[in-house]
Structure 1
Amino acid sequence: MSGVEVKVEGLSKSFGRANIWSDVSLTLPPGEVSVLLGPSGTGKSVFLKTLIGLLKPEKGSIVIHDTDLVRCNESRLYDIRKLFGVLFQDGALFGSMNLYDNIAFPLREHTKKSETEIRDIVAEKMDMVGLKGDESKLPGEISGGMRKRAGLARALVLDPEIILFDEPDSGLDPVRTAYLNQLIIDLNAQTDSTFLIVTHDINTAQTVPDNIGMLYRKHLAMFGPREVLLTSEDPVVSQFLNGRRQGPIGMSEEKDTAQAEREMAEIDELSGLPPIKPQIEATKGLPERKAVARRQQRVRDMLHTLPPAAQEAIRRSQQEVADAQPRETVVGAAPYGRPGGEAPTEVLPRVGAPNRFDQPR
């Protein structure tokens, strides 16, 4: 399983006369974790449903594997949908089925695999999300966090190239959210699939994704690598990602212009950008996330176009990460620390120093 690029161009969606968003353009890089943010009611879940073809936009295109989902026929759309796995807000499990049958459902519905093959696949996916041994439990007998993980296991059984998460942290306490965030990173390391997460959780947005996008006032305010968004001086992006009251976003999404200007003046009195929180790393023993190197290269390529304060904050963040790395790393450890025979070893130099952004290009 590996990720695929999703290219969205000029997408617009309305319900009757109510415009949800217009002219949304972004590219989800293959194999990377992206997050879509925005105040409540900005159409983030609508975007997910449009992306998978459940809702049809009025304008624009969604291109996957050279196929435009907006204009293709139903047969081709059905095939493309098999590339997706979806984790819904509440897990969307069948209450009358135990976890095993819930997770096996897509395999029985969409494949001709034998029950023996299905059993092996379900066992593998349940082990990946930490539910081994809970096969016989019903959704009503488990916690909200377990239901989320069961829904995630079901989303994984067809080995999707794209996985969509609709507010996976909704209803979870901070501890369970932290565990779920680590699980998302670990799954990306193992599958290299393309992930898109809709969330309101600021800590998730700051520490999980490779890329961040934000919907605001019926448009996509910004989309790009995490370092760029986390150092952005755009008032909307900065206010949301830092969880501030001061800024253009109010209780009803927008604020009176005069009030917003007064609050922005308060912010202008503060100096410097807040530090960039480090991104969550995959659990020790799992494969290195390929997405990280790809994103860092894009940031290096565009660093000179960013404001000086953002450049300095990104350089400082990268140096802190480099300084925190061990000087030598042994390559070849078996996943989860399980014995895997004699693993080849290779000594690597300390990561970061030769690749700093301020190196001449």
Structure 2
Amino acid sequence: MGVEICVEGLTKSFGHQVVWQDVSLTLPAGEVSVMLGPSGTGKSVFLKTLVGLLRPDRGSVTVAGRDITRLRERELYEVRKLFGVLFQDGALFGSMNLYDNIAFPLREHTRRSESEIRRVVLEKMDMVGLIGSEGKLPGEISGGMRKRAGLARALVLDPEIILFDEPDSGLDPVRVAYLNQLIVDLNAQIDATFLIVTHDISSARQVPDNIGLLFRRELVMFGPREELLNSDEPVVRQFLGGRMQGPIGMAEEKDAAQVKQELAQLVDTAPAREPTPRLLPGPGITRPPRWEAIARREAALHRKEVTGA
């Protein structure tokens, strides 16, 4: 079972530049959450802060009951064992074949025998559909295969939390669809807590239980996907709709008067439709019911019906 991550009042700056401030949210245990936001809003910085690679200026990140912002390096090392991370490019060693890349964390951080390592590596390669590719080098395979190899390596230590830093970057829409299904299937199988940073709106609509949006140095919203997909918040509607009218500009934020004028002139001619259905696990894979998630989604939909907001 995955573990809950509770973020309270998190603020991070580089010099005089504030990346984001006073960010508070809870990533529910065992659920898939997505963090969206325009380029340059600090989504990757947020991931690195969660795993303790960057220290925040203020705030707390509580993982399994421990605030990692206050831990010493030795204690932080122990908490990091709960995490697996899939980096944008897979972060594979170019001189190692896929088998050795995936085995690397086991050889580096455990004292398992080579026969036990082989069992684990082949099990994880099977989970991501890479059996038969053990001897291939990263340079000999497609971008999608490199992503899956990076994911297999993130899984070998059986993490309870998996962070995905733009897993769809560099992939065509078909490979993104396959990767999205793989993520949903894995979450159902291993029941870990997933957080995905992405720009891909299709993925954000289909994959997660929860969605968050970073903009203007703050967390605009975080909650059940239905709540975000039905939101009337201008920046949320603009980002999910992929349109120019709204607070997000090409190079910088627009001023309030310009945004107000654009939104007043905007005529939304798209027909009303139901939110995109969430992807279900593949045949033969059963996801345990998340009763708390179901209750939050129902409450969000009820608020929308009652208040119209």
Q: TM-score, normalised by structure 1?
A: 0.82
The answer for the alignment partner of 1:298 in structure 2 is 296
RMSD: 1.6
Q: 1:297 deviation in Å?
A: 1.4
Q: Map residues 270-285 of structure 1 onto 2, 5 A cutoff.
A: 273-285=272-284
Tell me the number of residue pairs that the alignment of Structure 1 and Structure 2 aligns.
309
- Show CA shifts across 1:94-131 (max 9, x none): 00100000000000111111000000000000000000
Q: 1:275 deviation in Å?
A: 2.5
Partner Cα separation in structure 2 for residue 283 and residue 304 of structure 1: 29
Q: 1:65 deviation in Å?
A: 1.3
The answer for the alignment partner of 1:323 in structure 2 is none
The answer for the alignment partner of 2:246 in structure 1 is 247
Letter in 2 for 1:282: P
Asked if the contact 1:39/1:253 (under 8 Å) is kept, the reply is no
Q: 1:160 deviation in Å?
A: 0.3
Partner Cα separation in structure 2 for residue 289 and residue 267 of structure 1: 43
Asked if the contact 1:188/1:289 (under 8 Å) is kept, the reply is no
Partner Cα separation in structure 2 for residue 289 and residue 202 of structure 1: 26
The answer for the alignment partner of 1:333 in structure 2 is none
Distance 1:119 1:232, change over 3 A: same
Letter in 2 for 1:223: F
Identity of aligned residues (%): 66
| Structure 2: gaps of 5 or more residues | none
Considering only CA atoms, is the larger Rg found in Structure 1 or Structure 2? 1
Q: Map residues 137-148 of structure 1 onto 2, 5 A cutoff.
A: 137-148=136-147
Tell whether 2:97 aligns with 1:77.
Answer: no
Letter in 2 for 1:220: L
The SS at the match of 1:70 is helix
Q: 1:289 deviation in Å?
A: 4.4
Partner Cα separation in structure 2 for residue 219 and residue 108 of structure 1: 40
The answer for the alignment partner of 1:164 in structure 2 is 163
| Structure 1: gaps of 5 or more residues | 312-361
Tell whether 2:86 aligns with 1:87.
Answer: yes
Asked if the contact 1:228/1:310 (under 8 Å) is kept, the reply is no
Q: 1:186 deviation in Å?
A: 0.3
Q: Which structure has more RCO (C-alpha within 8 Å, separation ≥ 6)?
A: 2
The SS at the match of 1:250 is coil
Letter in 1 for 2:234: P
Partner Cα separation in structure 2 for residue 130 and residue 289 of structure 1: 23
The answer for the alignment partner of 2:122 in structure 1 is 123
Tell whether 2:7 aligns with 1:8.
Answer: yes
Partner Cα separation in structure 1 for residue 155 and residue 39 of structure 2: 28
Asked if the contact 1:231/1:310 (under 8 Å) is kept, the reply is no
The SS at the match of 1:116 is helix
- Show CA shifts across 1:257-276 (max 9, x none): 33211221133665875430
Asked if the contact 1:186/1:283 (under 8 Å) is kept, the reply is yes
Partner Cα separation in structure 2 for residue 166 and residue 135 of structure 1: 24
Q: TM-score, normalised by structure 2?
A: 0.96
Letter in 2 for 1:298: R
- Show CA shifts across 1:297-339 (max 9, x none): 112234443364758xxxxxxxxxxxxxxxxxxxxxxxxxxxx
Q: 1:75 deviation in Å?
A: 1.4
Asked if the contact 1:35/1:198 (under 8 Å) is kept, the reply is yes
